[in-house]
Amino acid sequence: MKIYKKYILADLLKINLLLLFIFSSFYFLIDFFEKLGDFLSYKKPFFLFLTYIFWKSWVNLYEFFPFICGLSGIILLLWLARTGELIAFLSLGFTKKELISIIGTGIFSFALLGGGVINVIFPRAAYLSLYTWEHKIAEEKEQYLVFNEQIFLKGADFYLIAKPLEPKGEYLQDILIVFLTGEEPQEIIWAKKAYYKAKHWFFKDVIFQKKEKNFSPVFLKNFKADISLKPDTLVVVEKPLKFLSFKELFERYKFLKMVERPYKEVLSEMFLKIVYVFIPFFLGFFPLVVFLNNYTPSQIMRPFLKSLILFFTLLIVYFFLQTILRKGMLWAGILLSFFVLSSFLNFILFLKKK
């Protein structure tokens, strides 16, 4: 790689790291002081609070990373213009097309690497932030024992062992439920699989036993039960769809399809996971072009403001389409795909111009 490219990309990386530090610190202070009062009322060790803040910071990073990565391009150009380095590059014969090519490629590379890593860490960070607060600090739910992907749960009048097959607790495998009166077993249900639909549990390949029949086994192919066990009882941490990993979303999609329930919102979230790493380039490319096309040595703030307005316009468009898409309106995903694809096509066509 040529020295001038390394120089520009190094400055772009510094801008990204600076913006990451500023936004992370801002969100850290908000979370810290927003939750500190509640935490002190629980009288728990302070390291638990720091653990919660640490994982919550990763969740925040996932939320704002695409925007600061997209914004870093025009911030870099403003910095180069202010220090006189931009006019120096142009005076040495570098074309605006070359600068856009280097910075655009840098934004996409940082988005692909950083966004890819954050996309992998985010679901785990979201889970641990919720788990730390709900179970270890607030103790809002009973403590579960999880071993080898199986849940061991003691309810008010039952014991349950099961392996969840999807993240909302509505599809289970290898189930054992023991219903109690005091500490005495009254009914036992063994089942290969079970799913929750229309406020009922549907069991498959069932062995049913009752105390009044001396626990003699009754074998059933299918069994419908109206029991008080709710799916959210089986979830250690109840996570919104956007907090789920791609694997968990796919499992949720398969379950909803199997029980013939709407799954457009799950498909929408899967799409947003895929498109996540491409959003910074979509937000950053067109403002780059506007800045450099309007730049003159005597005009610095005007092109910057024009590019900044365009950036926030694109950001509003993205937020709008994201919100509509999460409501299950898949046409918003098609439109967002078109906008993202158009930014890459325009980048390629721009580079091919003489």
For residue 26, the enclosing domain spans 3-139+267-352
Total-model pTM: 0.82
Question: CA 75: distance to chain centroid?
Answer: 26
Residues 227 and 301 in one domain: no
Q: What is the pLDDT of residues 328-350, one digit of tens each?
A: 898 999 999 999 999 999 888 88
| 301 vs 204: CA distance, rounded Å | 68
What's the pLDDT at 325?
A: 93
pLDDT at position 146 over 60: no
237 touches 131 (CB < 8 A): yes
Residues 271 and 133 in one domain: yes
Residues 117 and 7 in one domain: yes
Q: Name the residue among 193, 217, 194, 220 with its Cα closest to residue 206.
A: 220
Report if residue 49 sits inside a domain: yes
Residues 13 and 111 in one domain: yes
Report if residue 255 sits inside a domain: no
DSSP reduced 3-state for 340 = helix
Residues 227 and 296 in one domain: no
Report if residue 62 sits inside a domain: yes
Report if residue 248 sits inside a domain: no
The last residue of one of the domains, among 213, 235, 257, is 235
- Tokens 């309007």 found at: 294
Tokens of 88: 């120096």
Residues 231 and 288 in one domain: no
Report if residue 339 sits inside a domain: yes
308 touches 286 (CB < 8 A): no
| 173 vs 191: CA distance, rounded Å | 8
pLDDT at position 1 over 70: no
Residues 28 and 110 in one domain: yes
Report if residue 14 sits inside a domain: yes
At 188, give phi and psi (nearest 5°). Answer: -130, 130
Task: Specify the number of domains making up the chain.
Answer: 2
Residues 185 and 292 in one domain: no
- Is beta strand 184-197 parallel, antiparallel or unpaired with respect to 150-154? unpaired
Report if residue 251 sits inside a domain: no
pLDDT-derived band at 107 (thresholds 50, 70, 90) equals very high
Q: What is the pLDDT of residues 198-254, one digit of tens each?
A: 888 889 999 988 888 888 888 888 888 777 777 776 766 677 888 888 888 998 888
Q: What is the pLDDT of residues 69-97, one digit of tens each?
A: 999 999 999 999 998 899 988 888 888 88
Residues 340 and 305 in one domain: yes
| 191 vs 204: CA distance, rounded Å | 6
Q: Residues 99-107: what's their mean pLDDT?
A: 93
Q: Which long-range contacts (CB under 8 A, 24 or more apart) does 345-351 make?
A: 346/285, 346/286, 347/104, 347/281, 347/285, 350/97, 350/100, 350/289, 351/97, 351/101
Instruction: Output 354 or 4, whichever has higher pLDDT.
Output: 4
Q: Name the residue among 238, 241, 188 with its Cα closest to residue 215.
A: 188
Residues 129 and 163 in one domain: no
Residues 204 and 283 in one domain: no
Report if residue 29 sits inside a domain: yes
At 312, give phi and psi (nearest 5°). Answer: -70, -30
CA atoms within a 13 Å half-sphere pointing along the CA-CB vector of 257:
9
Residues 10 and 121 in one domain: yes
